[in-house]
Amino acid sequence: LVTLLIVVCCEPPKKKIEYPKTDLSQNSLIPKPLKVIPTNSAFGLDSKTAIYTNQVFDGFEEVGNYLAEKLKSRLNLDIPVNELDGESIERLIFINQSDSLEMTSDEAYELYIKNDSVLLNAKTAAGAFRGIQTLRQLIPEQSNDTLAEQPMWLIPSGKIIDEPNFEYRGAMLDVARHFFTVEEVKRFIDLLAYYKYNKFHMHLTDDQGWRIEIMSWPKLTEIGGQSEVGGGEGGFYTQEEFKDLVAYAAERHIEIIPEVDMPGHTNAANLSYPIFHAGGKADKPRVRTDMLVGYSSFAARKDTVYAFLDDVVREISAISPSQYFHIGGDESHVTSKADYIHFVEKVEKIVRKHGKRAVGWNEIAQANLDSSTVGQFWNEPESALETVKKGGQIIMSPATKAYLDMQYDSLSEHGLHWAAYIEVDEGYNWDPETFVEGLPKENILGIEAPLWSETISNSTEMDYLAFPRAIGYAELGWTNSEDRDWEEYKERLADQQPFLDRNDVNYYPSQKVPWK
């Protein structure tokens, strides 16, 4: 008792901090949350803050660690995770598992921000991870040094209730036309995570290159992996590297969806193993460094092609935890319609045999497919409707709106314009729910923004096409359409500039955005 008294009496009185008025409703969050209720005070994030997570449930502590890392690299704060014995701890960020959320999505979260605590409730670690991004975005650029002896970042207080509109919010990177290193891909994934993306589709094979090691067919990468558009040296991911990418994405609650594009777009595979080349109208395989499409095909009537593809699908499926396996199926212009249908049906069955759901570009609707198979709409509304008629779901990637490789305007560097010029406002101003007339909302799995890489070969060029448009597609996937408005969004987008600059993102400085 004596010691207790001494401790209590001798402890200097805690300074009561008078927090300035803030307004949580004035935030620049992207994607815009479902509900924001301000309480006009603040949480003071500083060196006396600790993170505490639910340790019983899988993945919550990792979410806390991710937040701590980001706070360290951005603010140089050392915030302990699940170590509450430090005497100087005065404020807590509590990342909590809770089943009592009203919202149904696994990615839903509630954020309660008060003077001395932030409580983040989520059903799953994925939901907690999305909530952490909201918190990161609420940290002001400037600390306030006048409130306490140490720098303090004032996070506006209040309550945020949030969940995504669509369960599938993806971006695609074409690593076949140009190869991108593991580091470049990771950097892109980490940027996408900040905007609550949850899918990353890798276009791993095409005419100009095969980018994933297949142990049972080594020439795919020994030969097919050594070229790219423009004559560069190409490259490929070993299975270990691919697993590392999958794990890196998974730490960000992003799922990698592998694509092997077939029966067209297969020149690199056919160059590696000419026995699988279709012949007929298809061009004889040779190293291709040009940007043409539609001249290659697997031989659809050879049994050996399917034995080979069984190995390919099996090996990739074994290192790819996603429920999806993308089989491409686009622009098979030198495959006869009958051969195409035969091929897609055979390969879809192989994919299902290996426990995966097939995804294909909208052309696959010609085949008779299982209702579990997903169509990716890019250019044929009728095909999307056909897939839905068979009970299938659709990922929305209209080339005229959502293709990250389209030029912004006729003067912008990099990119193509065969589908459209897509300025930042054009990319934002459309509704995935109504874009294809007659497509019921319940059949729309979500949205994906593909970045084809014929005209880009490094992070700087990737950034220029992907940003800031990818930020808008994040909002189209997450936020309800009635809460979206370009005039209001463009202000929030302009406020992303410090984040983009801090991360050396070479974004396109569109005139449509009121950058500060």
> Toward ligand TNX, which CB reaches closer, 330 or 339?
330
**Pair 366, 426: CB distance under 8 Å:** no
DSSP string, 226-289: S--GGG-----B-HHHHHHHHHHHHHTT-EEEEE---SSS-HHHHHH-GGGB--TTSPPP----
Nearest approach in angstroms of CB 278 to ligand TNX is 18
State the number of binding residues for ligand TNX (CB under 6 A). Answer: 11
| Torsion, Cα of 331, 332, 338, 344 (10° steps) | -90
Whether residue 236 contacts residue 182, with contact meaning beta carbons closer than 8 Å, is answered with: no
From 401, 453, 396, select the one nearest 422 (Cα to Cα): 401
Specify the residue, 81 or 402, whose C-beta has the smaller distance to ligand TNX.
402
Q: Are 380 and 398 in contact (CB under 8 A)?
A: no
The torsion angle over the Cα atoms of residues 57, 63, 64 and 66, rounded to 10 degrees, is 150
CA distance 400 to 328: 19
What residues numbered 259-298 form the site for ligand TNX, per CB under 6 A?
A: 293
Q: What residue type is 293 in one-letter code?
A: V
β-bridge pairing 393-396 and 374-377: parallel
Tokens of 363: 């052309």
62, 90, 184, 331: the catalytic one is 331
Question: In the set 242, 378, 473, 489, which binds ligand TNX (CB under 6 A)?
Answer: 378
Q: How far is the CB of 330 from ligand TNX (least distance, A)?
A: 3
**Minimum gap (Å) between residue 472 Cβ and ligand TNX:** 18
Q: Check binding of 331 to ligand TNX (CB under 6 A).
A: yes
Q: How many other CB atoms are there within 10 angstroms of residue 304's CB atom?
A: 11
461 contributes a contact to ligand TNX by CB under 6 A: no
Distance CA 292, CA 265 (A): 10
Q: Is 330 a residue that touches ligand TNX (CB under 6 A)?
A: yes
Binding test (CB under 6 A) with ligand TNX, winner from 66, 109, 237, 361: 361
CA-based nearest residue to 398, from 460, 444, 332, 440: 444
Annotate each residue in 384-423 with x if it binds ligand TNX (CB under 6 A) or - if it does not, as one string: ---------------x---x-x----------x-------
Q: How far is the CB of 180 from ligand TNX (least distance, A)?
A: 15
Residue 250 binds ligand TNX, judged by CB under 6 A: no
- Of 77 and 399, nearer to ligand TNX (C-beta) is 399
Determine if 236 is a binding residue for ligand TNX (CB under 6 A): no
Question: Mapping DSSP to helix (H, G, I), strand (E, B) and coil, where does residue 425 land?
Answer: helix
Q: Which residue lies nearer to ligand TNX by CB, 241 or 380?
A: 380
Q: Look up 413 and say whether it is catalytic.
A: no
List, in sequence order, every residue forming a beta bridge with 135; answer none if it has no partner.
Answer: none
Could you tell me the smallest distance in angstroms from the CB atom of residue 89 to ligand TNX? 52
Q: Which is nearer to ligand TNX, 17 or 293 (CB)?
A: 293
Residue 179 binds ligand TNX, judged by CB under 6 A: no
**Minimum distance from residue 78 beta carbon to ligand TNX (Å):** 45
Q: First-to-last CA distance in the chain?
A: 59
Closest separation in Å from C-beta 416 to ligand TNX: 5
Maximal C-alpha separation, the chain: 95
Closer Cβ to ligand TNX, 331 or 370, answer by number: 331
Least distance in Å: CB of 339 to ligand TNX? 19
Is residue 452 part of the contact set for ligand TNX (CB under 6 A)? yes
Which of 256, 402 has the CB closer to ligand TNX? Answer: 402
Read off the amino acid at residue 69.
E
What distances in angstroms separate CA 402 from CA 111, 443, 502, one per listed residue? 31, 19, 26
CA distance readout (Å), 117 to 43, 90, 456: 7, 9, 45
State the Cα–Cα distance between residues 169 and 478, nearest whole angstrom. Answer: 7
**Catalytic center residues:** 331
For binding to ligand TNX (CB under 6 A), which residues are involved?
293, 330-331, 361, 378, 399, 403, 405, 416, 452, 454
